[in-house]
């Protein structure tokens, strides 16, 4: 199914210029959520089995969604059968049943899939592999076995990111709230309405609306760092695709600048080590930090996750 070859993704034009004044560069560098918000409890992580699996392992679902494959950086191996969706993070992978919608977790130690619950309407996986589910009654987090613990009320969307952080958006206002896990005040509002939010591995938080991309600096303070984008993707850093041509651009947090890194794609994902993956009609592509071009590492796929 997956064949490696060396071909470059097409390059194109530029993302709209970030609307950030030069005078702000020294004082408005986005802060990491890790520096601002206390890390969530690590208790949920105890259900993880210690196995030799990289947090940068890539998982893909075949075009017909009839098999789940794993890429270890060198070769592919099939690890599962049919699935409707796959979700991954921290080296862990989850898949939903195409018939029941229920969620299963792949145990690398035993090379088996374990049904763990659901179905939920939406899932999010953080950088250590903890998964959360959202349905009409609220937000739940998996703590192992069949133990899903409710950590929040109904929301319009959820997204996880670095340092074990979880963000949810309000159903009524679409404003973002961050889950701190603190007693009596687990959720804190951190901004106004947005269309899309992402969190990097380092804990940098970005949102976008019709006016562009914004970086959060703590409390309710946001700065505009880019023009409107089609979609943002995150991992070791944040990338965004141009609404004009679909090209992908990387954002450098400390310097508040964008760099063109590739041509149009249907999906992108950034591994924790900075490896960038892209998916288009011809297959799965990889761009390793420091390399100028892209290498095709896999054939066509319905979706992938890292």
The answer to whether the beta carbons of residues 18 and 190 sit under 8 Å apart is no
Q: 231-244: per-residue pLDDT in tens?
A: 999 999 999 999 99
Sorting pLDDT into bands at 50, 70 and 90, what band is 40?
Answer: low
- At the top level of CATH, the class of 22-305 is mainly beta
> The sheet that has 238-241: what strands, in order across it?
231-234, 238-241, 248-252, 257-262
Cα(251)–Cα(19) distance, integer angstroms: 13
CA dihedral 103, 231, 233, 262 (to 10 degrees): 130
More confident residue, 199 or 19: 199
Mean confidence (pLDDT) of the chain: 84
Nearest-CA neighbor of 302 among 121, 95, 111? 95
Token code pair at residue 168: 């949810």
Q: 217-229: per-residue pLDDT in tens?
A: 888 889 999 999 9
In order of 15, 171, 197, 222, the CA distances from 30 in angstroms are: 20, 27, 15, 9
Cα(272)–Cα(283) distance, integer angstroms: 21
Q: What is the pLDDT of residue 228?
A: 93
Proportion of the chain in helix, strand, coil states, percent, rounded to 5:
5, 40, 55
Mean of pLDDT values over 97-120: 95
Cα(4)–Cα(146) distance, integer angstroms: 39
Q: How far is CA 268 from the centre of its chain?
A: 9
Mean of pLDDT values over 8-18: 34
Cα(85)–Cα(113) distance, integer angstroms: 14
Has residue 97 got a pLDDT over 70?
yes
Residue 189: strand, helix, or coil = strand
The answer to whether the beta carbons of residues 40 and 179 sit under 8 Å apart is yes
Q: Which helix (H) or strand (E) holds 104?
A: strand 103-107
Has residue 37 got a pLDDT over 90?
no
Sorting pLDDT into bands at 50, 70 and 90, what band is 136?
Answer: very high
Q: 72-86: per-residue pLDDT in tens?
A: 999 999 999 999 999
Cα(294)–Cα(306) distance, integer angstroms: 17
Domain boundaries, the chain: 22-305
Cα(151)–Cα(120) distance, integer angstroms: 14
Mean of pLDDT values over 28-41: 63
Sorting pLDDT into bands at 50, 70 and 90, what band is 185?
Answer: confident
Backbone angles phi, psi at 44, to 5 degrees: -65, -20
Sorting pLDDT into bands at 50, 70 and 90, what band is 23?
Answer: very low
Q: What is the pLDDT of residue 226?
A: 94
User: What's the distance, Cα to Cα, between the start and end of the chain in Å?
Assistant: 19
Has residue 152 got a pLDDT over 60?
yes
Q: What is the pLDDT of residue 34?
A: 67
Has residue 58 got a pLDDT over 50?
yes
Has residue 5 got a pLDDT over 70?
no
Backbone angles phi, psi at 23, to 5 degrees: -65, -20
Mean of pLDDT values over 111-127: 93
Q: What is the pLDDT of residue 195?
A: 93
pTM, entire model: 0.85
């Amino acid at each position: 199914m997956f064949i490696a070859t060396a071909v470059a993704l097409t390059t194109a034009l530029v993302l709209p210029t970030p609307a950030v004044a030069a005078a702000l560069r020294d004082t408005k560098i986005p802060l990491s959520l890790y520096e601002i918000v206390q890390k969530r409890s690590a208790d949920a992580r105890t259900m993880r089995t210690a196995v030799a699996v990289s947090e940068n392992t890539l998982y893909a679902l075949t075009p017909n969604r009839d098999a789940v494959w794993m890429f270890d950086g060198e070769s592919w191996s099939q690890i599962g059968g049919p699935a409707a969706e796959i979700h991954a993070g921290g080296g862990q992978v989850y898949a939903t049943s195409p018939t029941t919608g229920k969620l299963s977790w792949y145990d690398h130690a035993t090379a088996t899939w374990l049904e763990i619950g659901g179905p939920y309407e939406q899932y999010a996986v953080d950088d250590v592999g903890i998964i959360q589910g959202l349905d009409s009654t609220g937000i739940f987090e998996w703590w192992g076995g069949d133990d899903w613990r409710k950590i929040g009320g109904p929301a319009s969307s959820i997204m996880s990111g670095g340092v074990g952080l979880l963000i949810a958006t309000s159903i009524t206002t679409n404003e973002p709230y961050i889950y701190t896990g603190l007693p009596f005040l687990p959720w804190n509002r951190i901004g106004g309405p947005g269309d899309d939010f992402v969190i990097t591995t380092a804990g940098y938080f970005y949102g976008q609306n019709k006016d562009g991309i914004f970086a959060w600096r703590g409390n309710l303070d946001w700065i505009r760092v880019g023009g409107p984008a089609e979609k943002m993707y995150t991992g070791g850093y944040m990338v965004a695709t141009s609404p004009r041509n679909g090209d992908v651009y990387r954002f450098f947090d400390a310097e508040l600048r964008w760099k063109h890194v590739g041509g149009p794609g249907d999906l992108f994902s950034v591994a924790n080590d900075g490896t960038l993956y892209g998916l288009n009609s011809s297959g799965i592509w990889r761009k390793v930090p420091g390399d100028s071009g892209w290498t095709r590492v896999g054939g066509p796929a319905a979706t992938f996750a890292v």
